[in-house]
């Protein structure tokens, strides 16, 4: 069952599995030299601090929904279904096309899902995909059709201050998607835990543009519409909260860290992930990583990384996979599954 806060989660009878994955990364590659020039640092400094060498940027005419549609199509093709088979489309994003309607509605129309499939957005920032995955799983249990499409997509380049070295060096644009459907015995989603830590919400935020600080000449002049992040505070949050929570999640599931075949974390920062793996006792070679090539793609980072691992043939039938999203909110989402090979 899904749990929130500090409540415990347990194993569930497997009934829903990931049947296919897909991703979409914009074609425009932005190397460290280009980012460094605007932020006053160097390529060497960026790589030493983050492990990142490049990130992707959406074209001026590309929005979050465009990347989400492409990733969704790739996932459906891998799963062998069409949009007409879907009962549900969930898009996790904190960079929607516009405040209303939900980006998922735009995606549903772009995919040709017709009038039947429910569509909604989830905003849990970088944890969003895992939150959306768990929401879709439970909605799907009562749906008419056995298939759902879950997408994590973000275009952070539209909300970054290009001169802010705390954020501009880290983030890229992208989308990743999975199709959920019936699991074979012994396969599929096993356990999950969702948690929120609202008292620390100001570690990551976009201050203006909502009902508290509506857009105005003053908010624009003050740069209040840019994404801001307290990097040291985020790292302390991961060390003090996320790391022990993952350990407790595995213990509650009756597992040692060494039992995890594939650890797919949010691609926040390479150096942070190295420390996280060491603290958890999960061997580094079992981490699936994409940050070096794509940077931090927000809600897309977990599904993009999962898709790369799947398409490279790294995930064998029956492998134990741990997904971990964490970030703005502050929030954390964990999911454990037995991989079901098509």
Distance of alpha carbon 41 from alpha carbon 37, whole angstroms:
7
Domains, in order of start, for the chain: 1-342 (3.40.47.10)
- Distances in Å between the Cα of 5 and the Cα atoms of 108, 255, 332 are 32, 21, 10
Number of CB atoms found within 10 A of residue 226's CB: 17
Q: Is 24 known to be catalytic?
A: no
Catalytic residue among 126, 134, 262, 269: 126
Residue 132's nearest CA partner among 149, 108, 113 is 149
3-state DSSP call for residue 16?
Answer: strand
Strands of 118-122's sheet, edge to edge?
A: 16-24, 173-182, 147-155, 86-92, 118-122
Catalytic residue among 32, 123, 134, 296: 296
From first to last of the 342 residues of the chain, give the pLDDT tens digit: 233 333 334 444 449 999 999 999 999 999 999 999 999 999 999 999 999 999 999 999 999 999 999 999 999 999 999 999 999 999 999 999 999 999 999 999 999 997 889 999 999 999 999 999 999 999 988 777 899 999 999 999 999 999 999 999 999 999 999 999 999 999 999 999 999 999 999 999 999 999 999 999 999 999 999 999 999 999 999 999 999 999 999 999 999 999 999 999 999 999 999 999 999 999 999 999 999 999 999 999 999 999 999 999 999 999 999 999 999 999 999 999 999 987
| Cβ atoms of 158 and 95 closer than 8 Å | yes
Q: Is 266 known to be catalytic?
A: yes
Residues with Cβ < 8 Å from 251, sequence gap 6 or more? none
CA-derived radius of gyration, the chain = 19
Q: Is 296 known to be catalytic?
A: yes
Catalytic residue among 123, 262, 266, 269: 266
- Distances in Å between the Cα of 116 and the Cα atoms of 69, 85, 120, 265, 333 are 17, 10, 13, 33, 29
| Cβ atoms of 125 and 69 closer than 8 Å | no
- The alpha carbon of 338 is separated from its chain's Cα centroid by a whole number of angstroms, namely 19
């Amino acid at each position: 069952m899904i749990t929130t806060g500090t409540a415990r989660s347990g194993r569930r009878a497997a009934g829903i599995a990931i049947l296919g994955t897909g991703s979409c990364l914009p074609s425009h590659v932005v190397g460290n030299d280009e980012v460094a020039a605007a932020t006053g640092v160097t390529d060497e400094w960026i790589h030493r601090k983050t492990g990142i060498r490049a990130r992707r940027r959406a074209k001026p005419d590309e929005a979050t929904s465009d990347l989400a549609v492409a990733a969704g199509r790739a996932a459906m093709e891998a799963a062998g279904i069409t949009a007409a088979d879907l009962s549900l489309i969930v898009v996790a994003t904190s960079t929607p096309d516009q405040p209303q309607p939900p980006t998922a509605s735009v995606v549903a129309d772009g995919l040709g899902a017709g009038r039947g499939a429910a569509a909604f957005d989830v905003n849990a920032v970088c944890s969003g995909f895992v939150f959306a995955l768990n929401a879709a799983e439970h909605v799907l249990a009562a749906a008419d059709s056995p298939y759902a499409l879950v997408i994590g997509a973000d275009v952070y380049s539209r909300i970054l201050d290009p001169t802010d070295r705390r954020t501009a060096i880290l983030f890229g644009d992208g989308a990743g998607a999975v199709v959920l459907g019936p699991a074979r015995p012994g396969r599929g989603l096993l356990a999950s835990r969702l948690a929120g830590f609202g008292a620390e919400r100001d570690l990551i935020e976009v201050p203006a543009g909502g009902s508290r600080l509506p857009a105005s000449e003053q908010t624009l002049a003050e740069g209040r519409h840019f994404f801001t992040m307290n990097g040291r505070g985020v790292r302390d949050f991961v060390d003090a909260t996320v790391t022990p929570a993952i350990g407790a999640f595995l213990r509650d599931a009756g597992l040692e860290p060494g039992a995890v075949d594939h650890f797919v974390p949010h691609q926040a920062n390479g150096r942070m992930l190295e420390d996280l793996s060491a603290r958890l006792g999960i061997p580094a070679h079992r981490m699936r990583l994409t940050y070096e090539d794509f940077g931090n793609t927000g809600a897309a980072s977990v599904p993009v990384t999962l898709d790369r691992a799947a398409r490279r043939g790294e995930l064998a039938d029956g492998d134990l996979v741990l997904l971990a999203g964490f970030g703005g909110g502050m929030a954390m989402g964990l999911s454990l599954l037995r991989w079901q090979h098509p």
